[in-house]
Structure 1
């Protein structure tokens, strides 16, 4: 049975898994990224790969690497990621590792993890939304990851909920879903009262009136965005991932109630809304899954 290494390259940590093609994780490992202006951080990624290779003590078939940014057309490198992880853009990892390597966006990798080994198994048409500091996502059509022109499909946090809003997302979109619920905007949305979504949810659970209004307004906007995506893509299932989903019932209960108001349900058919199976290792698992799927 083939074995691959999956790497999730983040700004804080490099996460790695040694995984068989049936999804069994043989080893997992974490090391700090140590992002720097000279690009020496790439040595830490190589350290991760060598650690997992040494653990396996046999030839590794493939390596998959997920990272922020947009992959190039043949998934050999990240072609676009300005102002972060200097040296990442157009760096060919296969030459660096000496092993067949494919590279993809980190949210796309999270979708692959769920599609191959998680909640999306058995479905052909699906959407993943990652709710965290920002809002990202991925789209699966006919059982395949849809990457689109410039590999940017799935930037679902940058759909607009209010074209008249003066607040612009990092892609220049007014009234974005990312602004409506992402942790990046919570201090501005709460007029400085909350520093994180975790603080907001905790206050909501303690029946704070302002927190209740703000949180439910954010969840209502998320429901409107989800219903809009359902109208556009008609998926069988939408999976929610990311740190904000740790709110559990505080998120999913009001979300499902709002979805009932906004979702068009011909003949009573509803789109499933589920919590992702994988947490912080989803990028690494998905990177390995992508290689198994493509090579």
Structure 2
């Protein structure tokens, strides 16, 4: 890897995280700006402000930038080409032209995976799958050390794989998807209105609430079936899990490993290793910077 400093930006719904990292993954500087999602001109200018402030600290006029954002990037990773419903003004916005710096744009889950693969829980691994478990379920794939984005750059959307063909359709029209099974967006529906968040559900689960245990274990079982399916198809060295739901720690990972052993095809007698992401909400910015760093 070249000895260079790169800026990574994670454009989130509430906060813009911008960092400068060196070639060894050390975060040299950090900058945070509010997103103000309702006004596109505000958050675009906030990104520009973050870049300018970091450049002033670094004392450089030209620098490569990686930008992590929700949605699907275009073929050349110059912009987000598809992001319906929110972040108005993001679609087809050319960041290189706006920032006057070479800027490479990628999906936020792909960026998180890049951060974990380069300097995190999957360091030195060449074939990796990552899922982000939060409001919804995102995902990304690393093949032979490179992010696999596929046709239309939509590869890795594991949240939209079907687990139950008789289940409700998710936002893409997929019935009984993994996102419907474990995403925070469906907790109230899955618990028949008793819980409004995964955090509430887990609090009740920890106290021995029978109904909470039934709901949670069903969700983890369905996640295990989904991960076993992914492992059977892609055979990664490791599956990395990130996102807020992973804060459940052993209450998630212990039963999940049990279900993986139950459902995954194990021709050598071993199951795919599942690990927790280590970069937390900084993974997107770190991964975006890594992606830009890999560009000539």
Q: How much has 1:59 moved relative to structure 2? A: 3.6
- Number of the residue aligned with 1:293: 294
- Number of the residue aligned with 1:82: 84
- Number of the residue aligned with 2:121: 119
Instruction: Tell me the TM-score normalised to structure 1 length.
Output: 0.97
- Number of the residue aligned with 2:148: 146
Query: Equivalent residues in 2 for 1:79-228 (5 A)?
Result: 79-165=81-167, 167-228=168-229
Q: How much has 1:281 moved relative to structure 2? A: 0.8
**For structure 2, which runs of at least 5 residues remain unmatched after alignment?**
none
- Number of the residue aligned with 2:282: 281
Q: How much has 1:220 moved relative to structure 2? A: 0.3
Q: How much has 1:214 moved relative to structure 2? A: 0.5
Higher mean displacement: 249-258 or 55-64: 55-64
User: Contact conserved, 1:223 with 1:262, CA < 8 A, in 2?
Assistant: yes
Question: SS in structure 2 opposite 1:274?
Answer: strand
Aligned residues: 294
Question: SS in structure 2 opposite 1:58?
Answer: coil
User: Contact conserved, 2:40 with 2:87, CA < 8 A, in 1?
Assistant: no
Does 1:236 pair with 2:240? Answer: no
Higher mean displacement: 230-239 or 263-272: 263-272
Q: How much has 1:75 moved relative to structure 2? A: 0.3
Aligned equivalents of 1:252 and 1:60: distance in 2? 44
- Number of the residue aligned with 1:252: 253
Aligned equivalents of 2:295 and 2:204: distance in 1? 45
**Pairwise CA RMSD of aligned residues?**
1.1
User: Contact conserved, 1:132 with 1:243, CA < 8 A, in 2?
Assistant: yes
Aligned equivalents of 1:211 and 1:182: distance in 2? 15
Q: How much has 1:48 moved relative to structure 2? A: 1.1
Aligned equivalents of 1:142 and 1:222: distance in 2? 25
**For structure 1, which runs of at least 5 residues remain unmatched after alignment?**
none
User: Contact conserved, 2:19 with 2:285, CA < 8 A, in 1?
Assistant: yes
Question: SS in structure 2 opposite 1:120?
Answer: coil
Aligned equivalents of 2:62 and 2:286: distance in 1? 15
User: Contact conserved, 1:2 with 1:61, CA < 8 A, in 2?
Assistant: no
Q: How much has 1:162 moved relative to structure 2? A: 0.9
User: Contact conserved, 1:4 with 1:60, CA < 8 A, in 2?
Assistant: no
Aligned equivalents of 1:76 and 1:178: distance in 2? 28
Q: How much has 1:38 moved relative to structure 2? A: 5.1
Q: 1:224 to 1:38 in 2, by over 3 A?
A: closer
Please give the per-residue CA displacement for 1:143-201, whole angstroms capped at 9, x wherever unaligned.
11000011000100000001122x11111100000010000000111111111101111
User: Contact conserved, 2:35 with 2:42, CA < 8 A, in 1?
Assistant: no
Aligned equivalents of 2:20 and 2:158: distance in 1? 30
Ranges of 4+ aligned residues in structure 1 off by more than 6 Å? none
